[in-house]
Amino acid sequence: METLPARARVYVACAALAAVLCLLPVPSARPSWWAVALLAALYAGGGRVAARGRLSGTFYPVLLAGAFLLPPPAAALVAVPGALLGPVGRRPRGTRRLWRAAQLVLAVRAAAEVYGALGEPDAVTAAEFPGALAAAGAAVVVFCLVLTLLDGGILALAERVPARRAWRGLFPRSLAPIAVHGLAGLMMAVLWQSPYGPVAALLVLLPMCVSWWVFGQYHREHAAHQATIRALVQAVDIKDGYTRGHSERVGHASMMIARELGLEDERVEVLRFAGILHDVGKLGVPTRLLRKDGPLTPEERRIIELH
C-alpha cells in the first residue's frame, strides 16, 4: 500500500462510505454517551500501548465489550478515534488510518447487530448470564468474518495478491485469537454492568496486557533476527560488489515460486530466508578470489565452491 492502485482507493472509499452509514444514529436508540466516550478513550489509549509491541489495532476486547453494551451505531463509534489517531507504520498514513477506521466500524456494527438480534435485552446483567454466550459467540464469528473479508479484498487490490490466495486461511487463523478477545469483551461487559461498575471491567484487560507484552517480546526478537540477516547480506554485497542485490532477488524469486506452488506461509518465509542466505558462505572466501579477473585455478575454484 506504499503506492495505492486506483481500484484499491475506490475500495477504501466504498468501505469508508459504508462505515459512515453505519454510524448514523437510530432514532429509538438511547446510548450512554459517557460509556461511549470512556470505551473510545480506553480503546485509543490501549491501542497505543499495544502498538509498542507491534500489535496495533488488536485491542479488540474493548470494541467487543462495546458491541455487547451499546446500541450498534454507538458501539461502532467506539473504534473511530483510536483508529484515526493511532500510530501507523507505513505510508500512505492517512489512507491506512481511514481504512482501519472503516474496517473496524463495519465489523463492530455487524457484531452488535448480531448480538442484538440473538441476545436477550440486558442479558449481560441477568442471572442466566450463560444464555448470552451463544449470542456473543455468533457476534464474535461475524466480527472476525467481516474483518477477514475486508482484509482479503485489500490484499487482492492493493498488494496484487491473486484472488485465490487473498482469503485463503485468513478466517481460520484469525478466529481463535479473536474468540479469546470476544470472551474478554463479554467479561468486561458483565463486570461493567455489575455493582462494581467500569473499574472492575478494567481488571479483565490486565491478563490481556501481559499477553501483549509477551507477544511484543517475540516480535522484537523476530525483528532482531531479520536485522541480523540483513547485516549478513550487506556484508556479502560489500565483499562481492559484482553480485550486489543477488541474494535479495533470489529470496524474492524463491518466495514467488513457493506461493505459486501453494505452500504454507511459514514455509514460504523459510524459503525466502534460505534464498537470501544462500551465498552467505562468501564471507569465508578471500576477497581477492571473488574479485579476480580471469579464470580460476583448480585450487582457487575449490576454495570458492566451499561457500
In the chain, where are the structural domains located? 6-203, 219-305
Between 116 and 147, residue with greater pLDDT: 147
Distance CA 247, CA 84 (A): 38
Long-range contacts of 211-215 (CB under 8 A, 24+ apart): 212/49, 212/50, 212/53, 212/55, 212/58, 213/53, 215/53, 215/55
pLDDT of amino acid 56: 44
What is the distance between the alpha carbons of residues 97 and 47, in angstroms, rounded to a whole number? 13
Question: If you average pLDDT over residues 141-160, what whole number do you get?
Answer: 91
| Of residues 21 and 1, more confidently modeled | 21
The predicted model gives 214-226 an average pLDDT of 76
Q: How confident is the model at residue 5 (pLDDT cuts 50, 70, 90)?
A: confident
Looking at the predicted structure, is the pLDDT value of residue 64 above 80?
Answer: yes
Q: What is the mean pLDDT of residues 183-190?
A: 87
Helix (H, G, I), strand (E, B) or coil at 65: helix
Report pLDDT for 212. 66
Q: Return the CATH superfamily for domain 219-305.
A: Hypothetical protein af1432 (1.10.3210.10)
Distance between CA atoms of 288 and 276, rounded to whole angstroms? Answer: 23
What b/e sequence results for 295-304 when a residue is b if at least 16 CB atoms lie within 10 Å of its CB, and e otherwise? eeeeeeeeee
Residue 55 above 60 pLDDT? no
Q: What is the mean pLDDT of residues 138-161?
A: 90
> Pick the residue with more confidence: 18 or 279?
18
Are 224 and 54 in contact by the 8 Å Cβ rule? The answer is no
* Separation of alpha carbons 84 and 94, rounded Å: 8
Mean pLDDT is lowest, of 45-54, 132-141, 178-187, for: 45-54
pLDDT of residue 142: 96
Give the span between the Cα atoms of 176 and 131, in whole angstroms: 21
**H, E, C per residue of 217-270:** HHHHHHHHHHHHHHHHHHHHHHHCHHHCCHHHHHHHHHHHHHHHCCCCHHHHHH
Q: What is the DSSP letter of 122?
A: T
Q: What pLDDT is recorded for position 120? A: 59
- Let me know: does 150 contact 106? Beta carbons within 8 Å: yes
* Whether the predicted pLDDT of 28 surpasses 80: no
Residue 111: pLDDT band by 50, 70, 90 thresholds?
very high
Given a cut of 80, whether residue 208 has pLDDT beyond it is no
CA distances from 223 to 24, 53, 54, 57 (A): 42, 11, 10, 19
Q: Does residue 172 have a pLDDT over 80?
A: yes
3-state secondary structure of 167: coil
Whether 108 contacts 78, CB under 8 Å: yes
pLDDT band at 48 (very low <50, low <70, confident <90, very high): low
pTM of the model: 0.70
pLDDT digit string, tens, across residues 232-277? 888 888 877 777 888 889 989 999 999 888 888 889 988 988 988 8
Average pLDDT for residues 196-214, to the nearest whole number?
75
pLDDT confidence bin for 220, thresholds 50/70/90: confident
CA distances from 72 to 28, 36, 125, 140, 275 (A): 12, 11, 18, 14, 49
Mean per-residue pLDDT over the chain, rounded: 83
Tell me the CATH architecture of domain 6-203.
Orthogonal Bundle (1.10)
* Band of residue 195 on the pLDDT scale cut at 50, 70, 90: confident
The residues, any chain, with a CB within 8 Å of residue 39's CB and separated by 6 or more, are 62, 65, 66, 69, 70, 78
Rounded (10°) CA dihedral 221, 222, 225, 230 = -130
